[in-house]
Amino acid sequence: MSHFDASLIVAACVFLAACIGLMVHRVQPESHRTKETLDVVRLGTGMVSVLASLVLGLLIATAKSSSDTTDHDVRGFAAELILLNETLRDYGDAAAKPRDLLRQFTTQTLRDLWSNEGAPQIDNPRTAELLEHVREAIRALEPVDGGQRWLQDQALQINVSLIRQRWQLIERQGSNIRLVVVGILVFWVAAIFASFGLNAPRNATVVVAFLVCALSIGGAVFLILEMDSPFQGVLRLSKQPMTNALAHMQL
C-alpha cells in the first residue's frame, strides 16, 4: 500500500467517525443531551485531544529526525567520495584504475538509491563488490616515493570510512515509525471526531468542516510516512550531492 493510499484511508476513517457521530446525535435520547453529560464528553475529548497532539508531534519529530540524519549521512558520503577521488588524482596516472572503479561505484550507488523502478537497493551486493575492488586496486598500487606512499595510506583510510558509512546507511534503513502507534493515534482522532459529531448541528457547513479536518489529519500521516522513507516517495532525499560527486570525478 502506498503512503498516499494509507493517508486516504486515515482521512476516510476520521470523516466516517464524524458522520457516525452526526447520525447517533439524531437518535440519541433526550436524557443523554443534558449539560452535565455534554460536559463530561467534552472533558474526556479534551484529554484524548492532548494525548493525540503529543503522539502526533512525537511521530512527526521522529520521522523528521530520521530524514535529516539520513540526508546528513548521504552528504557526508558524497564528500568522502570526492575526497577519495582527489587523493587518487594527486597520486598520479598510476591510480587510474581505482578512480575508474570509484566512478563505477558512484554511478551504481545513484542507480540503487534513486531508481524510479521499485524500492531502493542500498544493500546491493554488486555495489559492495565495486567498493571492495576499489580498495584492492588501491592496495595494489606501488608507491615510488614517500609522497605517494602517504597518499596511498590516506586513500585506504578514506575507503574504509566509505565502507563504514555505507553500512551505516544500510542499518538505518527500515521504518522508524511503529504502525501500532499510528493505528492507536488514528483511533484516538476518530473518537474525538465522533464526539464532535455528537454535539454538532447537522448541516452542510459542519460536514465540509469535518471533511477538511479529516483530510488534514490524513495529510499529517502522509508527511510522517513520507519522511520515514527518505529514498522513496514525493519527499525523498535529493540526489544532488551524489550527482555532484560523480560530476567531480569526471573532470
Convert the pLDDT of each residue in 143-188 to its tens digit. Answer: 888 899 999 999 999 999 999 999 988 887 777 788 888 889 999 9
Q: Is 188 a domain residue? A: yes
Q: Is 149 a domain residue? A: yes
Asked if residue 34 has pLDDT above 80, the reply is: no
34 to each of 28, 29, 31, 40, how far by Cα in Å?
11, 10, 6, 10
What single-letter DSSP state applies at residue 156?
A: H
| Domain region containing 128 | 3-21+36-249
Q: Is 30 a domain residue? A: no
What single-letter DSSP state applies at residue 59?
A: H
pLDDT of residue 137: 93
Mean pLDDT throughout 233-247? 89
CA 44 – CA 227 distance, rounded (Å): 32
Q: What whole-number percentage of the chain has pLDDT above 70?
A: 95
Asked if residue 28 has pLDDT above 70, the reply is: no
pLDDT of residue 251: 73
Core vs surface per residue 142-171: b (16+ CB within 10 A) or e: eeeeeebeebbebbbebbeebeebbeebee
Q: Which candidate, 62, 81, 45, 77, places its Cα nearest to that of 198?
A: 45
235 band by pLDDT with thresholds 50, 70 and 90? confident
pLDDT of residue 20: 87
pLDDT of residue 29: 67
Q: Is 114 a domain residue? A: yes
How confident is the prediction for the chain on average, in pLDDT?
87
Q: Is 27 a domain residue? A: no
pLDDT of residue 200: 76
pLDDT of residue 177: 80
pLDDT of residue 173: 77
Q: Tell me if the pTM is above 0.85.
A: no
**Residues 59-105: tens digit of each pLDDT:** 999 889 988 988 999 999 999 999 999 999 998 899 999 999 999 99
Q: Which candidate, 115, 89, 113, places its Cα nearest to that of 100?
A: 89
CA 17 – CA 192 distance, rounded (Å): 9
Q: Is 122 a domain residue? A: yes
197 band by pLDDT with thresholds 50, 70 and 90? confident
Mean pLDDT throughout 219-234? 87
Cβ contact 98:155 at 8 Å:
yes
Cβ contact 52:195 at 8 Å:
no
Provide CB contacts within 8 A for 129, sequence distance 6+: none
33 band by pLDDT with thresholds 50, 70 and 90? low
Asked if residue 116 has pLDDT above 80, the reply is: no
Domain count, the chain: 1
Asked if residue 118 has pLDDT above 70, the reply is: no
- Backbone CA torsion sign across 62, 63, 64, 66: positive
251 to each of 74, 81, 99, 148, 241, how far by Cα in Å?
21, 14, 12, 21, 16
Q: Is 31 a domain residue? A: no
Q: What whole-number percentage of the chain has pLDDT above 90?
A: 41
Provide CB contacts within 8 A for 165, sequence distance 6+: 73, 76, 77, 80
Q: Is 133 a domain residue? A: yes
pLDDT of residue 32: 62
Provide CB contacts within 8 A for 224, sequence distance 6+: 59, 60, 63, 177, 182
- Backbone CA torsion sign across 184, 189, 194, 195: positive
